[in-house]
Structure 1
């Protein structure tokens, strides 16, 4: 409850670090209350990927009120707008994601989500358990701040409010790849793209950034083990897919532990859901399993695919069952790479916001981000903003995607200031040559 009381208190402006642009601190303070209000409203009304109609409408209405001309309905519910500054200069893009997760919220906040939905045939809550509500509201604040500076602003800025970062519904296209496929960079090709993500593994007041490969490639798999239904008292009368599936799960652990050289790059293979049977005394016909693969090396990625298919098919066969292994079963996200030169150039900007001691290198992150698609088109920089309250150990704090994920709202102020500082520093002093 103490955390909730702290959350409800007015969010104090962060102390200005050496070299921070004075207009950044002033702008962040001017939009601070609005950003908090937007975040709480979006948090209480979360929407899954490709269904962010209310959120997209809120964003578009805000952009219009600022005099911009937003394009809507991109990649189903995406919104973009371009701000032309009053002075010549470079082009950049700023991106935020809008979608929530099928998670039932347990965080003790007054604006906790009560929204429910059906996902993969099961009733579940819907929650901004990853912090995309913060990303959307931060970018809304940054838009307002940059519009207020329009006459003195050099260059042009594209604002990207993206749906379905967590993935579109089965059978649909969505996310960053679809935004690009529908041409958002066709007529407006930025020189650089920037994004941020609130992160539970850092305390509020910290910013994390890593040059080069930063977040893992992410691929989803689906394995269906098919047996033959029989009564639970007569297992010999059929073929038990549950036992076979359990053996597949166990043996699949050797794909990483015994088949991959993890001294080269880390690899993760995790099962996330298993479904089979409806009654205690009936052995079912089949079991379905889904999971995720995370890699940083393309060769290792392809080898994991092949090894998992081999394990699923051969282990199932050993039980007299069969396996249909779709590995991967959808298009995955590539590795998120922070352009080394851009990262080095913008590090001083981030240090100006929170101080040099509070900008840390988190190393490789096994989480994935479809920001990676933008960063394959143009140099990109994706950084993390700490969200765990100071004094709480981020190693034990509820993580992103947890039903108890908690955002210290001082992270919103830092997010606004960091994105503004990076944008203004780049626009006013772009790379030469």
Structure 2
């Protein structure tokens, strides 16, 4: 049930941690913003919304932008928003992307700001992404002394079916044309006070398949009269694993995982149908055609061996997220000036998880990076998409600081070139 609570905010409780070493590198104006960042994030966390239904979130973002006098456009790809902040001097255009949607998960955290929407939860940190982008907008509206334009993209539906592509199709990278783009993901795989970034493939492509095997059912005691769909589907599952083992260059990385298998209705009946579904992940775009082709060849071959038929539905979701080398180096160099912990900047960070930030990076050079957000001492280290996911809110100010320093360095480099 949708929340009807007002948009006004009371003063938040203090952030979960106030470890001094994580605040040293924050400029005073961003340090002062931290309590508001926590309040905004907790407000959004209490009101999670699923893909393309982020009306409350979008209303909150738009209200803040209006309050600060920031020009913006709403209703892009249904609930998306684009804010434009012009500096005091002309220059290139840098995009910042933040996703806004939540997940269909029932929250199990017992905190004052837990989800008030049954069965919906910010279990991946998008409430933090929206907050960091808002904080960046707030800071820039008060400190416009930069040579360029910042376009902040508040995107719906990252968790699926994907809001980046329709926003691009709606023209968010034009008028003014975006020259480069950055984005971040709070990341509970890394401890708070770290940044993960790399040049090139950063997150994997995500594709899905569903196969229905069509056999011939019959009595379990008379198998010669049947075509056992469960047997055929089982052989498909095991044979699919040979693709990565024997058809892919060992120096490439790919995963084919069957996550769902259904067949049969009774212990003494040979099933006439069986179904299996799975996901395909890879970094190298050259595998985009090879993998689905080989998957179908194996399914067709195994079915032919047994006289079965099949129906295959293959869905391409997100391409690989590939960082531009120049922009990745810019983020890395900035992160080293902000992060002052022992682990610091984690190089060559990668994951087989996927992100539709990839569509933006196909259009303009950019960099997507991870901002470590786990704090095991406070129990804030449950994984993403877990019903007890939460993160150390110290990262909110850190995220704003990194974004601001990235744009300052980006514009300064453009002035020198």
User: Does the TM-score normalized on the shorter chain lie above 0.5?
Assistant: yes
State the distance in 1 between where 2:362 and 2:214 align: 40
Decide which moves more: 77-86 or 296-305: 296-305
| Equivalent position SS for 2:129 | helix
1:201 equivalenced with 2:185 (yes/no): no
**Correspondence for 1:142:** 136
User: TM-score when scaled to structure 2?
Assistant: 0.86
Task: Sort the Cα spacing of 1:143 and 1:277 in 2 relative to 1 into closer, same or farther, 3 A.
Answer: farther
**Correspondence for 1:58:** 60
Could you tell me which runs of 5 or more consecutive residues in structure 1 were left unpaired when the two chains were aligned. Answer: 1-6, 117-124, 169-173
Task: Sort the Cα spacing of 1:291 and 1:28 in 2 relative to 1 into closer, same or farther, 3 A.
Answer: farther
Aligned counterpart in structure 2 of residue 312 of structure 1, from 293, 299, 305: 299
User: TM-score when scaled to structure 1?
Assistant: 0.83
State the distance in 2 between where 1:362 and 1:355 align: 19
State the distance in 2 between where 1:236 and 1:115 align: 54
State the distance in 1 between where 2:386 and 2:414 align: 39
> CA shift at 1:95, angstroms?
0.6
Aligned counterpart in structure 2 of residue 364 of structure 1, from 328, 343, 350: 350
Indicate if the aligned counterparts of 2:16 and 2:392 stay in contact, CA closer than 8 A: no
* 1:103-252 correspondence to structure 2 within 5 Å: 103-113=105-115, 115-116=117-118, 125-150=119-144, 152-168=145-161, 174-228=162-216, 239-252=227-240
1:254 equivalenced with 2:242 (yes/no): yes
Task: Sort the Cα spacing of 1:30 and 1:309 in 2 relative to 1 into closer, same or farther, 3 A.
Answer: same
Indicate if the aligned counterparts of 2:330 and 2:406 stay in contact, CA closer than 8 A: no
| Equivalent position SS for 1:258 | helix
State the distance in 2 between where 1:282 and 1:34 align: 63
> CA shift at 1:388, angstroms?
1.2
| Equivalent position SS for 1:408 | coil
Indicate if the aligned counterparts of 2:50 and 2:104 stay in contact, CA closer than 8 A: yes
> CA shift at 1:205, angstroms?
0.7
Question: Number of residues paired by the alignment?
Answer: 404
State the distance in 2 between where 1:42 and 1:279 align: 48
Indicate if the aligned counterparts of 1:313 and 1:325 stay in contact, CA closer than 8 A: no
Task: Sort the Cα spacing of 1:72 and 1:108 in 2 relative to 1 into closer, same or farther, 3 A.
Answer: same
CA deviations 1:281-331 (Å, max 9, x no partner) are 87765444332211122333322211111222332344443221223x24x
Decide which moves more: 104-113 or 411-420: 104-113
> CA shift at 1:426, angstroms?
2.1
Task: Sort the Cα spacing of 1:409 and 1:88 in 2 relative to 1 into closer, same or farther, 3 A.
Answer: same
> CA shift at 1:107, angstroms?
4.1
State the distance in 2 between where 1:71 and 1:278 align: 54
Task: Sort the Cα spacing of 1:234 and 1:142 in 2 relative to 1 into closer, same or farther, 3 A.
Answer: farther
Indicate if the aligned counterparts of 1:14 and 1:414 stay in contact, CA closer than 8 A: no
> CA shift at 1:139, angstroms?
0.8
Indicate if the aligned counterparts of 1:63 and 1:70 stay in contact, CA closer than 8 A: yes
Could you tell me which runs of 5 or more consecutive residues in structure 2 were left unpaired when the two chains were aligned. Answer: 1-12
**Correspondence for 1:75:** 77
State the distance in 2 between where 1:305 and 1:111 align: 44
Indicate if the aligned counterparts of 1:17 and 1:355 stay in contact, CA closer than 8 A: no
**Correspondence for 1:99:** 101
